[in-house]
Structure 1
Amino acid sequence: MMSPMISKPMTVSGEFQRIARFFAPLAAGCDGADGLTDDAASLTVPVGQDLIVSTDTIVEKTHYLGHEKPEAIASKLLRVTLSDLASKGAVPAWYTMNLALPGRIDDAWLEAFCAGLAADQDRYGVALAGGDTVKTDGPVVLTLTGFGLAPAGKVLRRRGAKPGDLLYVTGTIGDGALGLECARGGFLELDWSARNFLIGRYERPEPPVGLGAALIGIADAAMDVSDGLIGDLMHMAEASDVRAVVQATAVPVSDAAAEILSECPDRLTTVLSGGDDYQILAAVPPEKEEAVRSAAKEAGVAVACIGEFMEGKGVSVQDADGQDIPIAQPGYSHS
């Protein structure tokens, strides 16, 4: 006879117990956080540096499905903000975090969540500086504010692209959007290793943090790709008052994404506009091509030239024959 299953009782500590047990160890690398024993942190910015700040929020069932491991959710939360900092040419230093958690989130979930943060802190060289936790009757809401350092007055903006600049992108595009479809049960005919790869890229993006600071002095403009390559490029083109032309065949895709495109070429629009890539778009003067490729090689980051900027307005995507490819929805809308 089978033994009855015994479920482990849920343990939920109080706010201050959680701070001491789970969050204070994450602040050990930030002297100004004072072990999270006070109401505010004191952060010293080195002379000649600017403090670059970016905030992101992810919501259960909206920005992640809800069944992911807590470690993966933590990684995504931190990495999406590090992507913003990298695209500004900043070196990540600290972060603060606000968590709105329903009662079903117990200590075991939080312990695993903080373990994910600890692993990424070691990987990216950042530390927790403070934050807040509150209860909610709604979904989990996680907000992270990242602080990075960049040479004073040198931060990369999206508005600096010039006619004649080349359009570079890091990594591969489309994995996050296709991975979301896989996580929802799509592409079942795809090889399991390819599906797992794409799901992994959706759950745990790989922002090119190591390249960000090296783009200062090379790129005229930069921004991260989070809401879709074409949609984000439209923001850069508008801010810079230029036109961008993308060569679809030059957009880098992973082997797994290429496998899908070979069978479903119509999914090119998903790749180009689906979002969740967390890579960097950069406007690079032609004379700086060797410099950007050398910096990328040293950082271990793949880069590809996928188009150019010219006089005019808007964004167009061209196929191998130079014909425009219509993109009905260029990117994810938060409204």
Structure 2
Amino acid sequence: MKIAIVNDMFIAIEALRRVLMTIAEHEIVWIAKDGAEAVAKCAKNTPDLILMDLIMPVMDGVEATRQIMKRSPCAILIVTASIEQNSAKVFEAMGYGALDAVNTPVLGNQGTPGAALALLGKIASIAKLNGKSPPPLSFPSPPSSVSFSSSTLPSLIAIGSSTGGPKALSAILSRLPANLGAAIVIVQHVDAQFAEGMVDWLNQLTPLTVKKASVGDRPQKGIVLVACTNDHLCLQVNQTLNYVREPIEYPYRPSIDVFFKSVAHYWTSRGIAVLLTGMGRDGAEGLRLLRSVGWHTIAQDKVSCAVYGMPKAAAELNAAVEVLNPDAIATTLLQRTRLNR
């Protein structure tokens, strides 16, 4: 894997270099000391992956991510001294197309082996996303009858998002009122270690109540539930949420397809499913299944996507009834969903 490092601290660059050298397949193609230098180098020699610092002189990692994803897009992993202290910038960078974030490994006795392993684990996951599509998921056909009455279920809005998702989610949720007459469940490709931070961040942007999705939760009107573990969120036969490890080999964690397909199987009232920006094909098959059982399905349009991967896959499968930008998606959700009176 051809990897570039963007960091203004020599000790951090050296720590990253040493970690990368432990894997023979990794090659460092260039190093930049600030975001502006990274933008220029990426335009001339686009790597498979950039390890992007956040806090740098001249141009920070957020703006560098924005410009790179616009001019010469590639996979970007945020590597910062503290994810927790820089959570707002992490989500902003993810909104522009960064895939994930991890703490910078530290050299010497102050460092921990776990930090290096976490970095290599993130790189391995991104390599899977770049290299191949995951195997298709199989679910039995949706049942023709269930014991739980659909009249007792609220309308459900199921949203899946990945690369660039936080920005699209914030644009949509900020336009929805607190008395929205529908339940919302979101599956965003985000690591569990800062998923809770994303929930807090989204709570500041919308009048709706945003919560972590916990085992046993049932979707409720006016509540936004967000998948918050590295396992897959799924709906069960009793319309409550659960987390499952299988399929273990699936590179997308949590998987949008796993959730969408469980919804098609067990949520007996019709709803709206939305597939937002992201790398790969996760969610496309699930969106097609939801359309086949009567759901109104929406894919984000190419112009507004940070990465037009997942929505493109949905369009190729004819899985989306509509293709819209985030503002138009919010308008459609309002038009198709009654408010609580």
Same fold (TM over 0.5): no
Q: Of the two structures, which has the highest relative contact order with CA contacts closer than 8 Å and spacing of 6 or more?
A: 1
Bigger radius of gyration: 1
- Using the size of structure 2 for normalisation, the TM-score is 0.31
